[in-house]
Amino acid sequence: MRKISADYIFPLNHAPVKNGIIIIDENGRVVENVIDPSNPGCSLMDVEHFDGFICPGFINTHCHLELSYLKGKMREHAGLDNFIVDLQPLRKASIDEEMTESALSAENEMKQNGIVAVGDICNDKSTFSIKNNSSIRFHTFVESFASNPDKADYVFNKAVALFNEIRQNVKNNHASITYHAPYSISKKLFQKIKEFAESSGCILSMHHQESEEENKFFLPRGGHINEMQNSFGVAKSDFADSGLRPLAAISDYIPKENFLQLVHNTVTTDIDIDFAEANFKNLYWCFCPNANLFIEQKLPDFALFYNKKCRITIGTDSFASNKTLSILDELKTIKANVPYIPLNDLLTWASKNGAGFLQISDTYGTIEKGKQPGILLLENVNNDTLHISKSTTVKVLM
């Protein structure tokens, strides 16, 4: 047994506890709820005290581990449409040593940065062996996209084959078949994914409003996505020029009851939020701010989502669009832009809400009796304002 204390404990199931104490067994399981040292009869014997804040392990709800080999190879600030075009010739058609080594290095970096669970996008099986040997808990989102309806059967069957391989051969085998983005899928493929999701009850994750070009694609304003799809051999997408906002245009093709995460939301407005919240029961909004800066040099309106009390999660995206795989770095970017959001709320986004979306709250997300959430120490923090700073670092304690 270990007794661990810090200047403040952020259990995330209630308010922070000054000089709180956690008792943890040899397996990292929390033995008692966080102890307030001011309580009568509290023993301070054998307590390890750390300077800083303690919080549960981070949950990275959006990552592309298989794209780790693209670190340093993509243009910054090129815009989403150019990013997609640049990505195509660099995508590897088969698994090779570079892919495996890069993904393994990325997985190790996430562990060192306190990430204990990941929602990972996949289009191939290059990361399966890593997931089988990782201490990180993965949920694999098998991503599908094809704007050409003639390719819907092929693409969907390929996704089903990957899904079945995960269920049969990957440790913990948590997986879904999910959408890529509103603009990249035909109605036929959307319907197939929807029916599969409804029958399996799987959670869903989708890139959403990552750039203004997506809005232009759905509204009668043309834009670069239409041109990009033409270059890929698609004369006109099913949803182009629909006259509706992206989510409104595709809402009939998304189950209303399944857990759904919308990722990026860089140009999402109050109209989009209100529509989504009214139509999808189990909705989460994922921010990957450093990837947004890398690609578009633009950030979501964090304050808007915060003021509307949206359920927010945090992702890192991939090394194709980010320089680190660190949830703490993402929180620093958010804080720099909206400094008044309390750290307890930011950590809720980074841990508790991520566990809620991935449906792993029985183990992760909060420091509570019986859980094994991972225990992190945030060092170089501000004890007066209860906040992080540019110099804050994270250390894995358990």
**C-alpha of 80 from chain center:** 18
Q: Would the pLDDT of 232 be above 60?
A: no
Dump pLDDT digits (tens) for 282-301.
999 999 999 999 998 999 99
* 114, 58 contact by CB (below 8 A): yes
**C-alpha of 1 from chain center:** 33
Per-residue confidence (pLDDT) for residue 72, from 0 to 100:
87
* DSSP-derived pairing of the beta strands 115-122 and 137-144: parallel
Dump pLDDT digits (tens) for 336-345.
999 999 999 9
Q: Residue range 246-268: average pLDDT?
A: 96
Helix axes 224-231, 80-90, angle to 10 degrees: 20
Token pair, residue 275, equals 């529509």
Question: Alpha carbon of 128 to those of 66, 184, 187, 228, 292: distances in Å?
Answer: 10, 25, 30, 31, 27
Q: Residue range 361-381: average pLDDT?
A: 98
Per-residue confidence (pLDDT) for residue 80, from 0 to 100:
74
Cα separation, 301 vs 298, whole angstroms: 10
Dump pLDDT digits (tens) for 303-314.
999 999 999 999
Cα separation, 296 vs 294, whole angstroms: 6
Cα separation, 389 vs 332, whole angstroms: 7
Q: Would the pLDDT of 228 be above 70?
A: no
Q: Would the pLDDT of 234 be above 60?
A: no
User: Which candidate, 263, 280, 287, places its Cα nearest to that of 345?
Assistant: 287
Per-residue confidence (pLDDT) for residue 193, from 0 to 100:
98
Per-residue confidence (pLDDT) for residue 73, from 0 to 100:
86
Q: Would the pLDDT of 270 be above 80?
A: yes
Four-point Cα dihedral 90, 94, 99, 100, nearest 10: 170
Query: Chain-wide mean pLDDT for the chain?
Result: 91
Q: For 73-87, 96-110, 135-149, which range has the lowest pLDDT when averaged over its residues?
A: 73-87
User: Which candidate, 291, 319, 295, 323, places its Cα nearest to that of 67?
Assistant: 319
**C-alpha of 282 from chain center:** 16
Q: Which residues pair with 175 in a beta bridge?
A: 140
Maximal C-alpha separation, the chain: 74
In the chain, % of residues over pLDDT 70: 91
User: What domains are defined for the chain?
Assistant: 2-55+371-396 (2.30.40.10), 58-357 (3.20.20.140)
Per-residue confidence (pLDDT) for residue 39, from 0 to 100:
74
Question: Has this prediction a pTM greater than 0.85?
Answer: yes
The larger pLDDT score, comparing residue 236 to residue 4, is at 4
User: Which candidate, 241, 207, 208, 247, places its Cα nearest to that of 226?
Assistant: 241
Per-residue confidence (pLDDT) for residue 367, from 0 to 100:
98
